[in-house]
Structure 1
Amino acid sequence: MPLSHQDQVSLLKDILSNQQSDAYGSISECEQVERLVKSLMVNTEINHNVKTVLEEIYRYSQDGINASSLDAHITAHKNQLSGWVDDIDQLS
């Protein structure tokens, strides 16, 4: 059963919040973030400004997958992660 729009938003916020607070993550989390963002991006009801944030999150997850140190990548984006979580609240 596919996740609802609200479930996708909640899951995305949870993953980003956990990475921000723990300064830790996994490649599979980054891959999940990519899938969630792709799914949300095709939603025609999403505000254009939020799509810009989703594009930033997508690039962050791609860079995280390819980073030599994912933990260092997450730490370097700690402030952005916090801002993104706040921005995602606009989706809710």
Structure 2
Amino acid sequence: MFIFAVFIMISIVMYVYYKVAILKTKDKLSQKYLNAKSRIFLGSFLFFFGINQYIAYQTRFILFISIVFLLLGALQIIDGFKEAKHYRNEWKKLHPDG
């Protein structure tokens, strides 16, 4: 479907955006936070790619591959959210005024 292709493209663009943003910053805490955000979009890419492939082909083999992509994507998204929340809270502790 077209909507999943759009989500896949947005995920790739945002993943690359956050990876490039890591190179621009020197603060290690900010780099870890941006890396966590990039993991969220890497996971969303895997998740939407797995859905898109199953919808496109609908075979048993693709079903198993899609399930693996969905699980890996969901784990990346969950882990990315947990890391982003942790590093955001750490940044707020170090910068209470801002």
Verify same fold: TM over 0.5: no
- Normalising by structure 2, what TM-score? 0.38
Larger radius of gyration: 2
- Normalising by structure 1, what TM-score? 0.40
